[in-house]
Structure 1
């Protein structure tokens, strides 16, 4: 069987259209070359077979890269998950950017395939197509007896009948709303708290019996999402290394008018530098000063994606809890070191001047990373030339693609794993179906195994394990198994107040924080007094105070008076603590003015953190009340409304108030309501660097350092661009004169030949 597989693989490799020969990887200590030398050295980007591609990689000393699957067993992989047998369920996005115009992106050629290594030699030899005829599928998750699948704009649940699709249920017909392929929800991470979270989204999902629950949560990231051993979520956007949460993901998102909540969407690793080992001129803004260095290497992240907090154990203790981030534009994978400091998570890059893994092959496009059931680090490589979506594709990058024939081929893709060189015969942990076997695996050193064991116990409704799970709550010396026991009880609907109390009595403060995060499941009317007796004293502990404050909405549901009293105590004690302040504001949705009055009666100091943050929320509410006739605007500017939804809204927000880490406000911005010719120039050519909006300077990392222009996109006419600008200038609280097609043409003529974005100083 395997001989046939190898013959088939070699045949596919032989059919690739380009030579497998290229320059050998550059040495780490080799001095940088000038741009002309680098242009000559990397003038071509030949298509390599997988074996040759590995030869072009540099990986951290002591590690090795192994091929797990390649074409023809996998094509254009963008997301995957493992099942309890160690099989990979892989999403293939075959339709992504067939050429620089995106011709044929709507073709039904996407698939979900099941890949398996049947003879246990580390290489896939079995491919089953579970689903086909999909349009740009992007995420997959295994739940109970089926598969949760994201196929924009819908989220589906498909029952699994012996690896064949069964009944199909629509979970959410608005899983994605607007946006383009680069800016739509994805991830479907089944987290420790038994909810399923996404990147580029503010929704979470959970199956409860035959119903699917959908709840509002914090907006997070862009492409890829991961969790650490405490169930905290981490993510990023294309220009930022790593963002994440300090607290449990299910708390703190109660006030829709609160633009940001401290402790969520925090900048974990602010250092965004990258260190490619080859010239990387094929980035969208490579012509701009500061994007590439003198040797044409990318300086900072421009396509950060697919992060994973490594929890596998196989790589060694030094790698435990490290955050790896993919950068396909620079053909590398970054390693970051994370550390807890109280409840705050901080991080730094593991190296300066080089990367954990980097390649001289321009077509190496790592887009998602995972911890595997064997403990290895897994890499999904789309292996293609074009990764920039047409919406923002610049003429410069079109020329780069043309110069090195990067459009073809479209039928490649690889899955690699990284493991120590000395590791031999690495095998995945396969999970048993019996309750006792799964219970034992909650203490396994591989975090993926613990996660999957918890999920299987919950999916199979093994409630008979409740007594043994409670026994695990006593094992402070095994904190990971303890936490999984806690959340497994919650997932089974068996968690009791006494269970949470058991964990609260542990000495480890991080376990106490997790116990508080699980408290909403057990705060019930009949036990409200007992719960409050446990919670209230903990507010005096500075480390636990934010977690206590985040419970206020749950307490309010069962005892509003007690919640108000606790809130007052927290307010008086922590009015200048941004984490507690934002938790209190989150609890006061719809009653912000009452909170302001209470605050002013107690302390008139307007410099207090809670006062300043509350004023921002009140301003947002006032702006929302002023917003009115957007529905009529959609009729007046139909193409403009659609263009805003698909292109602008993903970063600036549906309400025009901007999205943290991405873009500043459009609502009441002087750039929107001021000189229309300047706004047209920004929309056509983009804006780079810091920008002042109504007296506040927005710059990276608070927002992305660049807004791309759309003037070079053939999909949008000058009439379309005039419509979207007119729409923005009259949406929400904006009231400015319309922009005509002739206005757009005049600005194009004024800046004829320009390709680079403007800076604020130029426009002034």
Structure 2
């Protein structure tokens, strides 16, 4: 079901005419090797200019850590505006081109269907891709893909499509989820489609995961995570970030614990893997959205902290050396750099620190160098998608200040560029591994040193349904020489539907925590009416042996036991709570299984855990309070009908930071529910929503400031296309939502305040709004 090709032909011809004289890709000799190749010192940077550079010229502006070099593998006209990418078995690159993103500062033409999924190939095997094939075209702002079985998942808001392919051509299209994105503008919509170790497909900026089971697609709820980009480590833990956070992640398996609507956050999910958000640009960076605010830029006009953190990756290759194992790399396109973080485990807790002080792994003096997504690869290198654009801020939040910066340096045009680079160690050859169609060879690759190879081998065995490998997979799972081979073999068996209860129970009993943890994560895959008693006995044994690391998992898994035996599940929870009453991770895991049963469980627990100040009692009380407060909330369906435009705006713009329940989101935004800023002065509220608010801010006696929340709330009044009526509905909606019951706001009131504040270019402060 390939779409109309004429737009693609026109764009390709345009690219060729414009670039062929200056940007011919010839060989892998296009390389930058170290900081010594960096151009003139920063004082020579002319802030009045930001010229469009060819890929070769742009590379000369890049500084890279000692011992590494960066190589160009694709650029325009072969690729344009790349935002996501996957390798297939033959090391070909499937690339998402978001061609329509922000053609100018008001987003003219963003709804034009000019996005593509393209297939790039290196025909002559010289390391530079030289062939382009458009697989799917005429897409509106596509954002993510996932190869699976005989086709490809494509996220094109609001839909998630599955395209069946034959010989790289579309033969059928199926709608998997018509609400893959629910609300949200381009910056705040789900993305990622990461096919993880547990055989589920996860997303950033989302609470959904997907799985193909026969001819059906399963959709389940998970914890909300991230903003742009998602990745995993060698053991299936997920990592992500938001625009102002370096690296976030989960301590526990991603399918667990997102069950209790009365629980606001579960310890061990959405944790700060690396708390230090400092960045070190190589050049002044005045072109950031809040560059006019105090402390956003330093005295040298360089960005101080992350403001546009994008698609991260945990390096899992076999090329960089041991010092780079379990390193997290994060791009910051607004500061033209890529950060390296060193991560360490302590039991299930994962924390990290920046690898360098005062410098970055990669940084550029080219303002248009926009690394947006990073990837592991079949050759062990680190791959970089460079959107190579002047404008990366969406119109919804684009401030007059940044519009001015864009105008000063002519950053709007051109729109047709894009580069893909790879990073490799100096004097080290990167050899591409292509995956064979042989079942036996795929089995061997499950133990490969390169994580990308292991993942792809697992996926291929499952996709091709190589059931003849089951005996050998069981043998691989039982061997002890290569732990990663054993773990991938187990998950491959799970994907084939051949994992047994005995194998899971045996794995739970292993000495290695990494292996034991995988066994615990596999319990939901095998639990049924015939085996739940045996599994419960295994979990009981872990409590008896004081397996502290396994304890939170036991709390999560009690949910599955309760589905078959309510009494046994509750008994296990009481036993666990009695053994670990002060462990916050265990407490949250237990509460996650008890939606609307919190009060009853508190009574059941009182005899064995008498200390009411313990973590488990505190967390139960919080959930009970949340449930009681929710009962007093107004009916959201009634409000949706009353203020349809307001509800839509809240979902797309406000909900991300303030939560669907209006009670705020950790590290992002303070509560709106029962906030005096929402229910109080209309003038103040209108002013804030129109032009933003810079923290700190006091809400109900509590001072919210970074890092508890983001230091700045963007306004939407800068967008001239945003109707006053819609803003009035939004304000009325939040003033009537949850437990709020304030007067509605009229279109006239918004219009009057907007006119009064015409020309304003910066966010308000609390002191300014209060007349101080």
Give yes or no for contact 2:191–2:229 (8 Å, CA) kept in 1.
yes
Please state how far the C-alpha of 1:247 moved relative to its aligned partner: 0.8
Residues in 2 aligned to 1:29 and 1:418: alpha-carbon distance in whole angstroms: 16
Counterpart for residue 391 of structure 2:
386
Residues in 2 aligned to 1:25 and 1:420: alpha-carbon distance in whole angstroms: 10
Counterpart for residue 315 of structure 1:
320
Deviations 1:31-74 (A, max 9, x none): 997xxx68x72220111111111111001111111011100110
Is structure 2 residue 440 aligned with structure 1 residue 433? no
Q: TM-score if structure 2 supplies the norm length?
A: 0.93
Is structure 2 residue 720 aligned with structure 1 residue 711? no
Give yes or no for contact 1:672–1:729 (8 Å, CA) kept in 2.
yes
Please state how far the C-alpha of 1:257 moved relative to its aligned partner: 2.8
Is structure 2 residue 566 aligned with structure 1 residue 569? no
Deviations 1:65-111 (A, max 9, x none): 10111001100000011111111110000000000000000000000
Residues in 2 aligned to 1:355 and 1:655: alpha-carbon distance in whole angstroms: 39
Residues in 1 aligned to 2:490 and 2:157: alpha-carbon distance in whole angstroms: 34
Residues in 2 aligned to 1:384 and 1:372: alpha-carbon distance in whole angstroms: 24
Counterpart for residue 446 of structure 1:
450
The residue matched to 1:80 in structure 2 has which SS?
Answer: strand
Counterpart for residue 229 of structure 1:
234
Residues in 1 aligned to 2:703 and 2:547: alpha-carbon distance in whole angstroms: 36
For residues 751 and 513 of structure 1, do their structure 2 counterparts lie closer, same or farther at Cα, with a shift above 3 Å needed? same
Out of 279, 291, 296, the residue aligned to residue 286 of structure 1 is 291
Counterpart for residue 249 of structure 1:
254
For residues 13 and 62 of structure 1, do their structure 2 counterparts lie closer, same or farther at Cα, with a shift above 3 Å needed? farther
Counterpart for residue 12 of structure 1:
19
Is structure 2 residue 536 aligned with structure 1 residue 524? no
Out of 454, 473, 479, the residue aligned to residue 483 of structure 2 is 479
Residues in 1 aligned to 2:40 and 2:379: alpha-carbon distance in whole angstroms: 38
Residues in 1 aligned to 2:667 and 2:261: alpha-carbon distance in whole angstroms: 18
Residues in 2 aligned to 1:455 and 1:25: alpha-carbon distance in whole angstroms: 36
Deviates more, 1:269-278 or 1:569-578: 569-578
Residues in 2 aligned to 1:168 and 1:503: alpha-carbon distance in whole angstroms: 40
Counterpart for residue 493 of structure 2:
489
Out of 666, 671, 677, the residue aligned to residue 671 of structure 1 is 677
Deviates more, 1:737-746 or 1:308-317: 737-746
Give yes or no for contact 2:692–2:713 (8 Å, CA) kept in 1.
yes
Deviations 1:225-250 (A, max 9, x none): 00000100000000000000001111
The residue matched to 2:335 in structure 1 has which SS?
Answer: coil
Counterpart for residue 6 of structure 2:
none
Is structure 2 residue 505 aligned with structure 1 residue 498? no
Residues in 2 aligned to 1:614 and 1:237: alpha-carbon distance in whole angstroms: 29
Residues in 2 aligned to 1:30 and 1:128: alpha-carbon distance in whole angstroms: 36
Aligned length: 746
Residues in 2 aligned to 1:731 and 1:657: alpha-carbon distance in whole angstroms: 11
Residues in 2 aligned to 1:336 and 1:759: alpha-carbon distance in whole angstroms: 34
Residues in 2 aligned to 1:701 and 1:436: alpha-carbon distance in whole angstroms: 51
Residues in 2 aligned to 1:241 and 1:677: alpha-carbon distance in whole angstroms: 35
Give yes or no for contact 2:35–2:62 (8 Å, CA) kept in 1.
no
Out of 352, 357, 378, the residue aligned to residue 373 of structure 1 is 378
Please state how far the C-alpha of 1:27 moved relative to its aligned partner: 7.6
Out of 666, 688, 698, the residue aligned to residue 692 of structure 1 is 698
For residues 368 and 212 of structure 1, do their structure 2 counterparts lie closer, same or farther at Cα, with a shift above 3 Å needed? same
Counterpart for residue 604 of structure 2:
598
Give yes or no for contact 1:473–1:502 (8 Å, CA) kept in 2.
no
Residues in 2 aligned to 1:642 and 1:508: alpha-carbon distance in whole angstroms: 48
Please state how far the C-alpha of 1:13 moved relative to its aligned partner: 5.0
Please state how far the C-alpha of 1:447 moved relative to its aligned partner: 0.2
Deviations 1:319-351 (A, max 9, x none): 111000010000000000000011100110000
Give yes or no for contact 1:45–1:363 (8 Å, CA) kept in 2.
yes
- Structure 1 unpaired stretches of 5+: 17-23
Counterpart for residue 400 of structure 2:
395
Please state how far the C-alpha of 1:519 moved relative to its aligned partner: 1.4
Please state how far the C-alpha of 1:534 moved relative to its aligned partner: 1.6
Residues in 1 aligned to 2:21 and 2:598: alpha-carbon distance in whole angstroms: 66
Please state how far the C-alpha of 1:390 moved relative to its aligned partner: 0.2
Give yes or no for contact 1:82–1:373 (8 Å, CA) kept in 2.
yes
Deviations 1:148-181 (A, max 9, x none): 1100001011101110011111111110100100
Is structure 2 residue 709 aligned with structure 1 residue 739? no
Deviates more, 1:474-483 or 1:93-102: 474-483
Is structure 2 residue 77 aligned with structure 1 residue 66? no
For residues 110 and 733 of structure 1, do their structure 2 counterparts lie closer, same or farther at Cα, with a shift above 3 Å needed? same
Out of 194, 198, 221, the residue aligned to residue 193 of structure 1 is 198
Counterpart for residue 21 of structure 1:
none
Is structure 2 residue 645 aligned with structure 1 residue 613? no
Counterpart for residue 20 of structure 1:
none
For residues 714 and 750 of structure 1, do their structure 2 counterparts lie closer, same or farther at Cα, with a shift above 3 Å needed? closer
For residues 571 and 696 of structure 1, do their structure 2 counterparts lie closer, same or farther at Cα, with a shift above 3 Å needed? farther
For residues 681 and 323 of structure 1, do their structure 2 counterparts lie closer, same or farther at Cα, with a shift above 3 Å needed? same
Give yes or no for contact 1:384–1:406 (8 Å, CA) kept in 2.
yes
Residues in 2 aligned to 1:114 and 1:28: alpha-carbon distance in whole angstroms: 32
Give yes or no for contact 1:28–1:354 (8 Å, CA) kept in 2.
no
Residues in 1 aligned to 2:623 and 2:250: alpha-carbon distance in whole angstroms: 21
Out of 143, 146, 152, the residue aligned to residue 157 of structure 2 is 152
Give yes or no for contact 1:306–1:369 (8 Å, CA) kept in 2.
yes
Counterpart for residue 458 of structure 1:
462
Counterpart for residue 161 of structure 1:
166
Residues in 2 aligned to 1:156 and 1:427: alpha-carbon distance in whole angstroms: 34
Residues in 2 aligned to 1:11 and 1:104: alpha-carbon distance in whole angstroms: 22
Residues in 2 aligned to 1:268 and 1:690: alpha-carbon distance in whole angstroms: 24
Please state how far the C-alpha of 1:660 moved relative to its aligned partner: 3.0
Residues in 2 aligned to 1:29 and 1:359: alpha-carbon distance in whole angstroms: 8
Out of 564, 576, 583, the residue aligned to residue 558 of structure 1 is 564
Residues in 2 aligned to 1:430 and 1:749: alpha-carbon distance in whole angstroms: 62
Give yes or no for contact 2:73–2:128 (8 Å, CA) kept in 1.
yes
Give yes or no for contact 1:26–1:277 (8 Å, CA) kept in 2.
no
Residues in 2 aligned to 1:30 and 1:695: alpha-carbon distance in whole angstroms: 51
Residues in 2 aligned to 1:617 and 1:14: alpha-carbon distance in whole angstroms: 65
Counterpart for residue 131 of structure 1:
136
Please state how far the C-alpha of 1:264 moved relative to its aligned partner: 0.6
Deviations 1:370-416 (A, max 9, x none): 00111000000100100000000000000000000000000000110
Out of 493, 515, 519, the residue aligned to residue 515 of structure 1 is 519
Residues in 1 aligned to 2:629 and 2:741: alpha-carbon distance in whole angstroms: 13
Please state how far the C-alpha of 1:420 moved relative to its aligned partner: 0.9
The residue matched to 1:214 in structure 2 has which SS?
Answer: strand
Q: TM-score if structure 1 supplies the norm length?
A: 0.94
Counterpart for residue 183 of structure 1:
188
Give yes or no for contact 1:45–1:406 (8 Å, CA) kept in 2.
yes
Give yes or no for contact 2:38–2:62 (8 Å, CA) kept in 1.
no
Deviates more, 1:496-505 or 1:708-717: 496-505
Residues in 1 aligned to 2:74 and 2:40: alpha-carbon distance in whole angstroms: 35
Deviates more, 1:119-128 or 1:194-203: 119-128
Counterpart for residue 3 of structure 2:
none
For residues 732 and 349 of structure 1, do their structure 2 counterparts lie closer, same or farther at Cα, with a shift above 3 Å needed? same
Please state how far the C-alpha of 1:681 moved relative to its aligned partner: 1.9
- Structure 2 unpaired stretches of 5+: 1-11, 24-32
For residues 62 and 668 of structure 1, do their structure 2 counterparts lie closer, same or farther at Cα, with a shift above 3 Å needed? same
